[in-house]
Amino acid sequence: MEADNLRTVTITSGREPFSLLAGGSLPEVTIAYETWGELSPARDNLILITTGLSATSHAARHAPGDEPGWWEAMVGPGHPIDTNRYFVVCTNVLGGCFGSTGPTSVNPASGSPYGADFPVIHVEDMVQAQTQVLDHLGVERAFTVIGASLGGMLAFQWGAQEPGRAQSICAIAAPGRSYAFSIAWRAVQRRAVTADPAFQDGRYEPGHGPVAGLNHARAIGILSYRSAEEFDPRFGRDWDEAAGCFAVESYMNHNAAKFGTLFDANSYLTIARSMDFFDLGRGAASYEEGVARIKSPSLVVGFTSDLLFPLSQQREVVEILRRAGRPVRYAEFETIYGHDTFLIEIHRLGALLTEFFASVPSGGQA
């Protein structure tokens, strides 16, 4: 995350406390975000990127010397999310630990970090906070809200909750509600965190949290994000002499080892639980009616090898939208890269996004 380009807005400034869907409120809410490109004179070219569980707001470089972003090949001049044309915004979610209000933030009532006392957050709350970032930027309606995984849930929720504020949505590798199998994956990940003695029921000192538990949770997550179709030919039974273990173990250890020092455990639990609670049917007479609240043109993308949110869950949303007469486009990628395909097959996904953006009847050039 590039600190020089990280911006924050206190969305509760001069307002009432931020009310939460689960009850209660937060007296002060700050949201961190980054931007690329220029807002058009008509203020109609904003693309909001909504992130997954662990991503920061740093989706791409701002200048050649910057650290690469997590969607580097997708966002930038001449890229599918073209910053020569679009004003791109990416926020850190409410409950996060990269600049937005979350468990590491100071509770004004106590003068200490919220920690384990941070309230339950729902995807609806995250969307509400993001709408107020748009208010701060003076933008009434986003050209597109796009995201994958939790970011795809957020994109769906934008369409249902804020139908007048998103000209279109793109939901990638996401369901319309969480089902038992993905909840089970996250339950095991949470157990890895809470079983670490350093967790201390969530009341660890800042900087002294359950690093090992978070690393284990990340390793479990990686298994749900990739596939046997990729791992078996990629690693086989190769032995890593330097590491003294199988090559696939070395890969898992390397990718998990840095996570625990970067992410806060209480934030991880908060965001993961918000994914469990996600349901477009909440507040509607039925799930189908909840999904049908999405009226904007939608692009829904699924991946054949996605273990976490399988194709049946994207197809379910698309079928409901089609029965309701909503404008929706659907694409399935035959791929071995699992849930993480959106980070890997940039060329295929980028071509699809470019085609979809061209079909949306708004979004002027800056």
- Tokens matching residue 148: 């994958």
Query: Does a structural domain hold residue 137?
Result: yes
- Catalytic annotation, pick one of 54, 57, 105, 149: 149
Query: Does a structural domain hold residue 56?
Result: yes
Q: What is the mean pLDDT of residues 161-170?
A: 96
Domain termination site, one of 227, 255, 272: 272
Percent of the chain residues topping a pLDDT of 90: 93
187 and 174 part of one domain: no
210 Cβ contact partners less than 8 Å away, ≥ 6 residues apart: 193, 194, 196, 197, 198, 199, 204, 260, 265
15 and 100 part of one domain: yes
Within 13 A of 132's CA, how many CA atoms are on the CB side?
22
Query: Does a structural domain hold residue 365?
Result: no
Inform me whether the pLDDT recorded for 31 exceeds 70.
Answer: yes
Inform me whether the pLDDT recorded for 3 exceeds 80.
Answer: no
pTM confidence score: 0.96
Report the C-alpha gap between 169 and 176 in whole angstroms. 13
How many angstroms separate the Cα of 238 from the Cα of each of 246, 248, 304?
Answer: 6, 8, 26
Q: Is 149 a catalytic residue?
A: yes
Inform me whether the pLDDT recorded for 8 exceeds 70.
Answer: yes
Query: Does a structural domain hold residue 226?
Result: yes
For the stretch 262-298, pLDDT in tens is 999 999 999 999 999 999 999 999 999 999 999 999 9
258 and 345 part of one domain: no
Query: Does a structural domain hold residue 70?
Result: yes
Inform me whether the pLDDT recorded for 12 exceeds 90.
Answer: no
Q: What is the mean pLDDT of residues 119-134?
A: 98
Burial 229-258 (b: 16+ CB within 10 A, else e): ebbeeebeeeebeeeeeebbebbbeeebee
Report the C-alpha gap between 188 and 309 in whole angstroms. 16
**Are 281 and 177 contacting, i.e. CB atoms less than 8 angstroms apart?**
yes
Q: What is the mean pLDDT of residues 327-352?
A: 98
Q: Is 238 a catalytic residue?
A: no
253 and 122 part of one domain: no
For the stretch 189-211, pLDDT in tens is 999 999 999 999 999 998 899 99
Q: What is the mean pLDDT of residues 169-185?
A: 98
212 and 337 part of one domain: no
Q: What is the pLDDT of residue 366?
A: 58
Q: What is the pLDDT of residue 14?
A: 72
159 and 132 part of one domain: yes
127 and 253 part of one domain: no
Which residues form the domain of 239?
Answer: 183-272
213 and 239 part of one domain: yes
Give the number of domains in the chain: 2
Nearest to 13 by CA among 36, 37, 30: 30
For the stretch 208-259, pLDDT in tens is 999 999 999 999 999 999 999 999 999 999 999 999 999 999 999 999 998 9
Average pLDDT value for the chain = 96
121 and 15 part of one domain: yes
338 and 311 part of one domain: yes
Domain termination site, one of 250, 272, 294: 272
For 198, counting Cβ atoms within 10 Å of its Cβ (0-12 exposed, 13-18 middle, 19+ buried), the class is middle
285 Cβ contact partners less than 8 Å away, ≥ 6 residues apart: none
Q: What is the mean pLDDT of residues 87-104?
A: 98
**CA–CA–CA angle 141, 124, 193 (5° rounding):** 130
Task: Tokens 């979809």: give the residue.
Answer: 356
Query: Does a structural domain hold residue 364?
Result: no
Inform me whether the pLDDT recorded for 365 exceeds 70.
Answer: no
Q: Is 82 a catalytic residue?
A: no
Q: What is the mean pLDDT of residues 311-318?
A: 98
Domain termination site, one of 242, 272, 302: 272
Q: Domain containing 257 — which CATH number?
A: 1.10.1740.110
Q: Domain containing 313 — which CATH number?
A: 3.40.50.1820
Torsions phi, psi for 5 (to 5 deg): -105, 0
- Catalytic annotation, pick one of 196, 279, 306, 340: 306
Task: Tokens 């698309």: give the residue.
Answer: 318
Q: What is the pLDDT of residue 362?
A: 67
Q: What is the mean pLDDT of residues 37-54?
A: 97
316 and 202 part of one domain: no
Percent of the chain residues topping a pLDDT of 70: 98
Q: What is the mean pLDDT of residues 346-365?
A: 89
Report the C-alpha gap between 230 and 55 in whole angstroms. 23
345 and 284 part of one domain: yes
Query: Does a structural domain hold residue 366?
Result: no
